[in-house]
Structure 1
C-alpha cells in the first residue's frame, strides 16, 4: 500500500464519526434557528467551512454563520449575533473583522459568526461575508475524487506546521488548500509544483485579477478577484512548505503528516551546546495578557522585532531568536556576546565638511576615551558605550521600545547568565537550539 493511501485511512472520517458530526451540526442548527425564531428579523443560519464542503479531518471545527439582511446596522449585527451565539454555546468572544462567538459543543470547536447575507461578493460589507460564497464555489467545483486529495494536503500542511491562516500560524487556510487541489488536480501534483515555487508565485483558476500584490504567494480568489486568498501566508510558512515539498519528493515519510513530538533537551545538553557555540542568551519574560491568540501573536512578533532593533542599535549582534507562550510569554535572544567593551569607535565627518566643527566641539577636552583624530580622512573618536551589558540594556530600555499595545505597562523580567539554565526555560532553549524541521525529528 502506498504511503498516501495509508495516511488517507487514518485521516478520513469513518461512518460513525460522520454520523456524530452530522448530529452535532443538526443540534446546533436547531438551537440557532430556535433563537432566530424569537426575533422579528429575516435571519438565516448557514453551515459553512470544511464540514459543509466534506473536506474535513477528524474532529473538525463547526462553522455556522448567522446571516443578517444588509439593512441591519453593524452594531445591531454584532449585538444580536453575539447574543445568539452566547445563548447557543456560551463560549467566549473572539474577534476577526468583527466579533464572533467561539466555544465547544460535544467536544468539537464551534464558531458562530454573524455576517451579512449578500447577493454579490463584490458588495460585501465585511471580509467574513465572502465565506458562504467560498463554500458554494468549492461545493460546485471540487469533484468527489478530489476530496481525499484535499484531506491529504491539509494533513501534510498540519504535520509540517503551516496549516491555518490564524495569526499564530500565518499559514494556509482550508479554502486555499482546496483551491490548490482545484488548480493542480491532486495532492502529489500540488507537492511537485510547490517544490518549484518562487517568491511572488502567482496563481489563479479561470481568470487572473488585475490588482498587484506583494505577498510571497498570490492566489486570486475566484469569488472576488480583488482579493489574494494567500495573503496570510508568511514568508517563513511559504518557504517551509517549499522545503517540505522538496524533501517529501526525495524521501516520503509518514512524519510529514504525523511528526514526532520534539522533546525538551536536558539542561546538561543545553549547557554543552552553548559552551561549544561560545554565545550567550538573554530571555525576556512577562505574563501572558488575557487576549485571544489572533491579538497576542502579532504583538509578540512586534515586540520581538523591536527588541532586536534595540539590541542591534547598541552593537549587540543577534544571531538567533525564539518565542514561547504558556502562562508566560518568553522571548529568547542568542547573542554573539552579551558583554561588550566600554570603548567604541565613533566616526565623524571628513575635515572639509561643515559638521566637522561641531564634531570637534562635542568631543574635544576628554569627553570621550580619546581626543578626536583623523583616520582615512574622517574624524574619529574612541567613545564610551552607553550600555555594555545586553541584559541591562533590555531591563532599562525594553519599555521604551515599540511594544504590542497590550504589553505596555506590564512588568518585564530579563533573565541572563546562569539563570537561563533553569528547568523553566528548557522549552524555549530547545526551540532556540534544535532547528530540525517537524519531519526530521
Structure 2
C-alpha cells in the first residue's frame, strides 16, 4: 500500500552503510578517550528516515559529578566542532562529517527505578523496541508514522510542540501493528485513549491512580512498557491529539478516493504559503507572514521564546482592534507564524491599557495625557482610556521587535 512512499523515506543499503560507518568512527574516537558511549534513538532501533541525521549518543556515567566537563575536554582533545547546550546536565551538539550528533550524559543504571529522568531510561527503551521489531516489518511502519506526523506538525514532545515523541510513535505501531491499522483506529479516538501494550493495568482508573493526575492529563495515555508508572504521551496536548485524528481522517478519505497522498510523506517539506494566500484572499483578509528565531543555546529554548513572542504579538494586534480570523505556527528551521488579519477594518476607537491605579506616578501621567478621553478602571485594577487613534500594523510589529530584542535573535515579517 505504501511501497512507493517507503522507497523514498527508507535509507538505502548504501546510505545505511555510510551512516553507520561514520557513527562507528565517532564512537571509537570517544571511547578511546575513556567515555562509555551508547547509541540511542532511531539510529539504535533502525527506525530512522533517509537524509535525517540527528543522532543521539548517550555518554553513560555512574557518578554525575564532572561528566559534562569530561565530555567537553574529550571534544577539545579530538578537535571536534561542537556547541555546548546548558541544562540540568549540559549536553553537546557535535558536527561531524556532515551529520549532527547530540552527546547527552545519561546515568548508567541497572534498573529503571533508579532513573533520575527520562534520558536515563533510553537504553531500556532501545532494548525493548528492538526486541519487538526484530524480524518484522514494523520498522518501516514506524518510518511511515514518523514522516506523516512530521508533515502534519504533530511530531515532537518539546514544550513548544507538545506532540508525540519518537518513542511514542514507536509504541503506537507496536500496539496497532501497522500504520494503516493505526489510521483506521484513530477514526474513533476520543479523550482519553488508553494503550497498555504489556497489560500492566486492568483499567485506566488504576493507571491514573498509580501515575498520578498530573502525568495523565493528556488526552492519550500510553503506559511505558519498561517503566509502567510513566505515561509515554504525557506531553501530548489536546490540540496535537485532535490534529492527528483530523489528518488521519483526511488521509484515509483521500486513500479511499484513490487520490495521491504522497504530500503527507515528504521528507524535506518546504513551507509553501501559496495555499494560505489563497485562503486569505477568499476571506478578504491580509496575510501576515512572520519568521522568528529566539535566543538561546538549545532549539527547545529558542523555539519556546519564539512561540511566546508570537503569542504576545497576536495579543498586541488584538488589543489594537485588528480582527484576526486565524493564527498558527509552523516549526521549520525557524518558527514561522501565519496570521489572517483584517487591516482595513480597524475600528476608529480603541481601548488603551494604562497602569495600575496604585502606581500613583504612572497613573497621574496617564490621566494627564488622556484628560480629554473617557478614562475608567476595570476588574484588573488598571486604568483604561478610549482613544481615537489608528495604529498601523507595521508600527506594532516594529515596536514588538524592539520591545523583545533581548529574547528574539531574528524577526522578519511581510504583509500580503
TM over 0.5: yes
Q: Is the 8 A contact 2:221 2:231 kept in 1?
A: yes
Given the alignment of the two structures, is residue 31 of structure 1 paired with residue 23 of structure 2, yes or no? no
Given the alignment of the two structures, is residue 16 of structure 1 paired with residue 14 of structure 2, yes or no? yes
Q: Which region of structure 1 is more displaced relative to structure 2, 386-395 or 9-18? A: 386-395
* 1:389-420, Cα deviation, whole Å (9 max, x unpaired): 2538736974898x69624xx8988x7xxxx4
- Alignment correspondent of 2:361: none
* 1:180-230, Cα deviation, whole Å (9 max, x unpaired): 111111221111112322244232222243223212332222222333322
Given the alignment of the two structures, is residue 214 of structure 1 paired with residue 202 of structure 2, yes or no? no
- Alignment correspondent of 2:381: none
Structure 2: distance between partners of 1:328 and 1:197: 32
Structure 1: distance between partners of 2:292 and 2:6: 42
Q: Is the 8 A contact 2:156 2:164 kept in 1?
A: yes
Rg larger in 1 or in 2? 1
Q: Structure 1-normalised TM-score?
A: 0.70
Q: Which region of structure 1 is more displaced relative to structure 2, 217-226 or 322-331? A: 322-331
- 3-state DSSP of counterpart to 2:2: helix
CA separation of 1:83 and 1:128: change in aligned 2, threshold 3 A: farther
Given the alignment of the two structures, is residue 255 of structure 1 paired with residue 255 of structure 2, yes or no? no
Structure 2: distance between partners of 1:4 and 1:330: 30
- Alignment correspondent of 2:245: 242
Given the alignment of the two structures, is residue 334 of structure 1 paired with residue 336 of structure 2, yes or no? no
Aligned residues: CA RMSD: 3.9
Q: Is the 8 A contact 1:318 1:334 kept in 2?
A: yes
* 1:29-60, Cα deviation, whole Å (9 max, x unpaired): 21111111xxxxxx522122222222222244
- 3-state DSSP of counterpart to 2:164: coil
Structure 2: distance between partners of 1:232 and 1:295: 16
Question: How big is the shift at 1:129?
Answer: 1.0
Q: Which region of structure 1 is more displaced relative to structure 2, 51-60 or 173-182? A: 51-60
Question: How big is the shift at 1:384?
Answer: 3.0
Question: How big is the shift at 1:134?
Answer: 0.9
Given the alignment of the two structures, is residue 46 of structure 1 paired with residue 38 of structure 2, yes or no? yes
- 3-state DSSP of counterpart to 1:57: coil
CA separation of 1:389 and 1:199: change in aligned 2, threshold 3 A: farther
Report matched runs for 1:29-428 at 5 Å: 29-36=27-34, 44-59=36-51, 60-69=53-62, 71-73=63-65, 76-88=66-78, 89-95=80-86, 97-145=88-136, 146-166=138-158, 169-206=161-198, 207-208=200-201, 209=207, 210=210, 211-212=212-213, 213-252=216-255, 253-258=261-266, 261=270, 263=272, 265=274, 277-280=283-286, 289=295, 291-322=297-328, 333-337=339-343, 339-342=346-349, 384-385=386-387, 387-389=389-391, 391=393, 394=396, 398=400, 406-407=407-408, 420-421=414-415
- 3-state DSSP of counterpart to 1:308: helix
Q: Which stretches in structure 1 are left out of the alignment for 5+ residues?
A: 37-42, 345-362, 373-382, 422-428, 430-441
Structure 2: distance between partners of 1:44 and 1:282: 49
Q: Is the 8 A contact 2:9 2:50 kept in 1?
A: yes
CA separation of 1:144 and 1:404: change in aligned 2, threshold 3 A: farther
- 3-state DSSP of counterpart to 2:407: helix
Q: Is the 8 A contact 2:294 2:306 kept in 1?
A: no
* 1:209-253, Cα deviation, whole Å (9 max, x unpaired): 322321233222222233332234344432222122112222222
Q: Is the 8 A contact 1:97 1:127 kept in 2?
A: no
- 3-state DSSP of counterpart to 1:23: helix
Question: How big is the shift at 1:117?
Answer: 0.6
Q: Which stretches in structure 2 are left out of the alignment for 5+ residues?
A: 202-206, 256-260, 352-366, 377-384
Structure 2: distance between partners of 1:292 and 1:228: 25
- 3-state DSSP of counterpart to 1:224: coil
Q: Is the 8 A contact 2:163 2:241 kept in 1?
A: yes
Structure 2: distance between partners of 1:277 and 1:321: 14
* 1:322-358, Cα deviation, whole Å (9 max, x unpaired): 55789997756433446322377xxxxxxxxxxxxxx
